[in-house]
Amino acid sequence: MEAKEIKEIDLKHVSLAAVGLIQRIESILPTIPNDRVRQMVAVKLSTAISEGGNEAMLRQILILANASIESSELIEHKMNTKDLEYNPVTGEILSEINCMPAIIPVIKMLEKNNENKAAKAKPNEQKPPSSAV
- Tens-place pLDDT, residues 55-71: 888 998 998 888 888 87
- Do 37 and 17 form a contact (C-beta atoms < 8 A)? no
CA end-to-end span of the chain, whole Å?
Answer: 78
pLDDT tens, 2-39? 455 545 556 666 788 888 888 899 999 998 888 888 89
pLDDT tens, 79-122? 777 777 766 666 666 655 566 677 788 889 989 888 887 666 56
Q: Which residues lie across from 92 on neighbouring strands?
A: 87
Q: Which amino acid type is present at position 54? A: N
Q: Is 87 helix (H, G, I), strand (E, B) or coil?
A: strand
